[in-house]
A and B are shown apart, each in its own frame.
Chain A
Amino acid sequence: MNALWWLTGRVLVNSVRRALQSPTRLIGVLFLVAWWFSIVGANFFRYERRGAGAIEALPSEVYPILRLVVIGGFLVVLVLRLLMSFRPPGNYQGADADVLFSTPVNPKAVLLHRFVIDYVFTLLFPLIVLLFGGRQTWRGFEFLARGVENPALVGRMALGAFLLLSLFGVAASYAIGLAINRDTPGGRRARRWFAILLGAAGAYLLGAAAGAVRSEDSLAAFLALADSWFARVLLFPVTAAADMALGLAEGRAADAWLGLGVLVGGSAALIWAARRQAAWLYDMAARQIGGVQARREAQQRGDMFSIYGLYARQGKLKPRRPPFIYGWRAKGAWAIVWREAVLQTRAFGAMMLMMLVVLAFLSALPFIAEDERNAGAVFFLPVHLLMVFSFALAVAQGGFLETLRRTDVQKPLPFSMSTLCLMDILGKSLLPAVMGVASGLMLLVGMWRTPDYGLAALLSFPALACAVVAVQLIVILNFPHVDDPTQRGFRGMVQFLAGAIAVGPSVVVAIIFALLDIPLTFAAVLSLLFSAGVVGVSAAVCGPLYARFNPAD
């Protein structure tokens, strides 16, 4: 155990030392410190006592609401921890597998070491809230405890409830994680059942919450839900923590102490259960480490294709063959568009479907809200555009990194560099354009009272998506070094800016037309023409840049 704590200490000290050695990292550290003092620190130190003491006691009718808020907060803490059960407990790196796991250090000691670190990290979250909220947050706590008989004890119990619930959550994620992540038929079965149980509980809770929202007395319905068998049995750690936190203030001392007992006892039992399974820790951690590390590195580079490549190697990504793509007999340079259609569908198809579901929900909101005048249209149009913009940006960022990596395969093809760039842009624009069309159709249906909005979206969104993708190639060819963190950071900023520039004129024209009461469809036609120009110019600019690009530089 000493070796593990020594390692943790040295890594912490050395990371500070290293940060101070490199000028680029030093700038980052100084920026962080300056930011803390200017924003967070200022909020913390400029506390004014204005208004303090205005209310002497908390009205009794507030307690039920407070109880619901506390239960909701504690539920989030517990669910987040339980969701972490789906990966092996603790964070591990390659060195752990290659160096630590083959030493005689007891796996139980390693487990306990990671458990403590995980627990401390869990507690950092409220600390961050406190830092951002500064003294105002603290004032809020003071205000809630005002008028209570023994405020100090109440405060300690509330804090203790959070600490113990976090302990329970971490212990549960360790005990469950070690049981369901085993690479055995039993482990896989347990994982499936745990997922079903969690999903069913979540569905029941959401259904019950929706029912409570629609009932005449929502507060009473929510309170009944909080006191139901479901909450008392399945969410017993949450209700125990809520009882512990508020029991004394509400005059239910016995419940408060019982809650404390349940959390302490439950945590102890779970830690014991986790320790009993420690022998499985190395195996599941070692199996995960390689994939996790490669994924982290790819994420740092914004390299979605590498991540999907990893998924493919793990068998998580199936080679779908959509007939409408396979039926297309592309010729010449159009083969690049066909290749992209295949790759994009595999890599970004699921992401697009998820975003479309969100957009469909947004489009259905006017129906749900029975918005007679379609007043929400003004809100939904930019939201849809933002989603299409984000998707185009994500596809372009990941896709063009792949273009850089595959330079040796693409450049020898018998086409001019500008043609290659144009086809690459068109290929990578396919999915964002499809999303633009889908988004436009949804707006057309969802805002049927104002078809002008939907029609404008249907015309302009696909073209704007293409323009956003096109300008990303210019950016990426100007900052092509994917592993250089400085270029990476700068590229990220410029990519967003370039996208905004590609979309900006269309948005400005749309706003002007809307103000002048000119149908937005005309603005959309202008936007379409402008976007086509952006794509053409981008391809022409990128040709020479791509010709000069050498991956070995």
Chain B
Amino acid sequence: MVEVISLVKEYGTFRATDGVSFTVSPGEIVGLLGPNGAGKTTVLRCIAGILRPTSGSVRINGYDILSHQAEAKARMAYVPEVPALYELLTVREHLRFVAMCYDRLDLFEQTANELLAKYDLVEKQDAFVATLSKGMKQKLAIACAFIHDANVLLLDEPLIGIDPRGAHEFKQELLKARDGGCAILISTHLLDTAERFCDRVVILARGKNIAEGTVQSLRQHANLEGASLEDVFLRLTEEQAEVRFDLGDPEEPPVAKG
């Protein structure tokens, strides 16, 4: 489970995220949407423990990311948008390094073989990461996320650069993980994918979450019944209101939180 509470992150005098709050429950896929520069990547990096929040808190599986880093990260995996990997490791060594970090070498050989096969990396397993194409690197980053038994997945635009087959495999893997009780937070610009794939979405604009709920509840709020998520997104981000709407239940009217 992921709990983000009043998250603020400032870079110098620039406030990248401003009081963002949401949760991702076990067995749920939540889409993190927003225009460029809305603060999605900053939110994900704060949750992943890479950036330190200026204020507010992040809890993973009940552990605070600052005070209990190791426990919070033990069952979490993060896939960045354009993953920078260790170029001088081979593909297999890279997986091994990640397994070592999570202290999961016991089942490494079997898990690694399965992942390499699933993401078409068997032939490249002894090649340097530096020699991989952009898509291959993305696949390796995804494979690294599944090398340990993660129950929280943080994915920043994970489908960019992946071929259709790889994307399909990945989606199947995510659905399997969700059904197995995994909490998944996925940042994406692919609104049709988010619409079909996510149980809920959180929309950020200018560092604030301006709307949160199921796609159906967002439609109701935007008075766009039957419209696509794209239309809803455009309407809501155009408004860029200072008001945050919590749209938990599609049957209930949204609650303005000021």
Contacts and interface: CB of A to CB of B under 8 A. Distances in A.
A10 interface: yes
A98 B83 contact: yes
A94 B94 CA distance: 14
A283 interface: yes
A29 to B, nearest CB: 15
B98 A282 contact: no
Contact of B86 (A2, A99, A280): A99
Contacts of B130: 18
Contacts of A106: 69-70
Contacts of B45: 286
B155 to A, nearest CB: 12
B181 interface: no
Contact of A103 (B86, B93, B98): B98
Given A3-B101, A98-B141, A14 B50 contact: no
Interface stretch (B73-81, B166-174, B203-211): B73-81
Interface string A278-297: 01101100110100010000
Contacts of B49: 101-102, 282
Contacts of A98: 78, 80, 83-85, 141
Contacts of B154: 102
B90 interface: yes
A102 B73 contact: yes
Nearest to B53: A283
B86 A95 contact: yes
B89 interface: yes
Interface extent on A, as a size class?
20 to 34
B91 to A, nearest CB: 12
A419 B83 CA distance: 44
A500 interface: no
A93 interface: yes
B178 interface: no
Contacts of A105: 101
A422 B88 CA distance: 45
A286 B50 contact: yes
B93 A104 contact: no
Nearest to A7: B97
Contacts of B102: 103-104
A225 to B, nearest CB: 40
Interface in A79-96: 93-95
B11 A183 contact: yes
B88 A11 contact: yes
Contacts of B87: 95
B52 interface: yes
B36 interface: no
B54 interface: yes
Contacts of B84: 93-95, 97-99, 289, 293
B128 A282 contact: no
Nearest to A285: B50
Given A3-B97, A280-B52, A286-B50, A104 B85 contact: no
Contacts of B109: none
Nearest to B76: A102
A18 B88 contact: yes
For B70, B88, B103, which residue has the most chain A Cβ atoms within 10 angstroms? B88
Nearest to B13: A315
B144 interface: yes
Nearest to A280: B52
Nearest to B83: A98
A15 interface: yes
A99 B98 contact: yes
A283 B66 CA distance: 11
Nearest to B96: A6
B49 to A, nearest CB: 6
A282 B88 CA distance: 22
Contact of A14 (B51, B88, B101): B88
A283 B141 contact: no
Given A14-B128, A183-B10, A279 B101 contact: no
B88 A104 contact: no
A107 B50 contact: no
Contacts of A228: none
Contact of A99 (B11, B51, B85, B93): B85
Interface string A529-549: 000000000000000000000
Contact of B48 (A101, A183, A184, A279): A101
A11 B52 contact: no
A287 B14 CA distance: 13
A10 B86 CA distance: 10
B226 interface: no
B101 A100 contact: yes
A94 B76 CA distance: 19
Given A10-B93, A14-B89, A98-B83, A104 B73 contact: yes
Nearest to A281: B52
Contacts of A14: 88-90, 93, 128
Contacts of B164: none
Nearest to A101: B50
A99 B52 CA distance: 16
A103 B141 CA distance: 13
Given A11-B88, A98-B84, A104 B51 contact: no
Nearest to A182: B52
A222 B73 CA distance: 56
A215 B76 CA distance: 67
A102 B11 contact: no
A184 B83 CA distance: 28
Contacts of B70: 104, 106
For B86, B89, B100, the residue with the greatest tally of chain A CB atoms inside 10 Å of its CB is B86
Contacts of A315: 12
A497 B14 CA distance: 47
Interface string A92-130: 011101111111111100000000000000000000000
B50 A7 contact: no
B145 to A, nearest CB: 10
Contacts of B80: 97-98
A101 B50 CA distance: 6
23 contacts: A3-B97, A3-B100, A6-B97, A7-B97, A11-B89, A14-B128, A93-B84, A95-B85, A95-B86, A98-B84, A99-B83, A99-B84, A99-B144, A100-B101, A103-B73, A104-B70, A104-B103, A105-B101, A106-B69, A106-B70, A183-B54, A184-B54, A282-B51
Interface of A: 2-3, 6-7, 10-11, 14-15, 18, 93-95, 97-107, 183-184, 279-280, 282-283, 286-287, 289, 293, 315
Nearest 9 Cβ contacts at the A-B interface: A94-B84, A3-B100, A103-B101, A283-B52, A102-B78, A102-B48, A104-B73, A104-B70, A98-B80
